[in-house]
Amino acid sequence: QVQLVESGGGLVQAGGSLRLSCAASGRTFSSYTMGWFRQAPGKEREFVAAISRSGGSTYYPDSVKGRFTISRDNAKNTVYLQMNSLKPEDTAVYYCAADTVTSGLRIGNSRRYDYWGQGIQITVSS
């Protein structure tokens, strides 16, 4: 069982920055691809970012590319999401997710991930 706990959420003005952290309990954290997803009311869960096991590869959709940066510190069992130039449309509950089993699914497919954090609210005011 892998437990994921997000922190760092809150309210920020448009143009501001926040950094989310996700602390993992997994014994083999360095073996997991990690991802961030978000979900706004009435919307489907949306891929935000992912990072490979070693941190050598990162992935972003066009909606956040150039503004968000995912990183990880395997020694601390933690993955981060740095969010800059925030926009009101970034408002959502953000979820940290772990991919612990090889599935062949695309990196942005939420079904690839088998463990999820509880979610944390990000609100960007205009």
Q: What is the mean pLDDT of residues 118-125?
A: 97
pLDDT at 27 over 90: no
Nearest to 71 by CA among 52, 84, 85: 52
pLDDT at 55 over 80: yes
pLDDT range class, residue 76, cuts 50, 70, 90: very high
Distances (CA, A) of 56 to 18, 30, 50, 72, 87: 23, 12, 11, 10, 28
pLDDT range class, residue 121, cuts 50, 70, 90: very high
Share of the chain above pLDDT 90, in %: 94
> What's the mean pLDDT when you consider all of the chain?
96
Quote the pLDDT of residue 1. 84
pLDDT at 49 over 90: yes
Quote the pLDDT of residue 52. 96
